[in-house]
Amino acid sequence: MANAVQAIGASKTYGEGRIAVQALKPTDLTIPLGQICFLVGPSGSGKTTLLSLIGCVLRPTAGRVVLFGDAVSERRERDLPDLRLALVGFVFQGHNLIASLSALDNVALPLRLTGTPSLEARQRAAHLLDAVGLGKELARKPAALSGGQKQRVAIARALVGTPPLLLADEPTASLDAAAGRHVVELMVELSRKMRVTPIIVTHDNRIFDLAERIVQLEDGRIVADSLTAAAGGAVGSAT
């Protein structure tokens, strides 16, 4: 099976000398195309740092990150914004929607940034909003939406450009149990339909059953890596 993500000895250190802090120790991780992978662990375990390396938001201090066969960690800094726009959709703990824009225009924005004509961008945005159950809320601005609805708009925005990789950082943290589960179920469902590889950072054990693979981090290193019943095979080590 082809791989979506490879981290090869990837590490991240902040600061230098006596004040240096190694947020992520040298890490090897391979995620096949389409696998629904959760990165779990307590705060400060390195899971968000690892997600940021995968998403080309941070560069590794050492080691390499490869996305879909492309050694992205070796790309020039000026190439990274276009690379992120083409390869990665992001969903954050906060929805990060633009308050002055409607749900429709928030979702259409990434397409407009890549030069997609306005009518096409809005049509594609409307289709995604309908897919996340917000087809009747296109004109509403974020202030008029519930927390769960805002996250569903954020999911549509992340996927509207059809990126092959979806990264979500604690997407349920500000939601109640029912809304949080619905949001992650939507991400999983749409990822399968759109052939996207989702990687979700969470410490919400109420949604662990939705993962096909759970990678646990502590103190900046992977301490457990296992497949789940949702993977359709034997439960056990993924390595």
pLDDT tens profile 106-132: 999 999 988 999 999 999 999 999 999
Instruction: Tell me how far apart the alpha carbons of residues 10 and 4 are, in angstroms, rounded to a whole number.
Output: 16
Is it the case that residue 74 has pLDDT exceeding 90? Answer: yes
Please state the rounded mean pLDDT for residues 81-91. 92
Q: How confident is the model at residue 237 (pLDDT cuts 50, 70, 90)?
A: low
CB neighbour list of residue 3: distance below 8 Å, 6 or more residues apart: 30, 31, 32, 33, 66, 68, 69
Is it the case that residue 212 has pLDDT exceeding 90? Answer: yes
CB neighbour list of residue 218: distance below 8 Å, 6 or more residues apart: 41, 42, 45
Identify the CA nearest to 167 among candidates 196, 131, 207: 196
Please state the rounded mean pLDDT for residues 225-238. 73
Element (H, E) at 219: none
Please state the rounded mean pLDDT for residues 168-187. 91
Instruction: Tell me how far apart the alpha carbons of residues 165 and 70 are, in angstroms, rounded to a whole number.
Output: 13
The predicted pLDDT at position 17 comes to: 82
Each residue of 2-20: pLDDT tens digit? 999 999 999 999 988 888 8
- The CA-based diameter of the chain, rounded to the nearest angstrom, is 56
The predicted pLDDT at position 18 comes to: 83
User: Domain spanning 3-12+31-237 has what CATH number?
Assistant: 3.40.50.300
- What mean pLDDT value characterizes the chain? 93
User: Helix H segments across the chain?
Assistant: 47-54, 80-87, 103-113, 118-131, 147-159, 177-194
CB neighbour list of residue 169: distance below 8 Å, 6 or more residues apart: 48, 51, 90, 91, 92, 93, 201
The predicted pLDDT at position 236 comes to: 55
Instruction: Tell me how far apart the alpha carbons of residues 37 and 142 are, in angstroms, rounded to a whole number.
Output: 29
More confident residue, 237 or 175: 175
Please state the rounded mean pLDDT for residues 58-84. 94
Is it the case that residue 94 has pLDDT exceeding 70? Answer: yes
Is it the case that residue 165 has pLDDT exceeding 90? Answer: yes
Instruction: Tell me how far apart the alpha carbons of residues 91 and 204 are, in angstroms, rounded to a whole number.
Output: 16
- Per-residue DSSP letter, 238: -
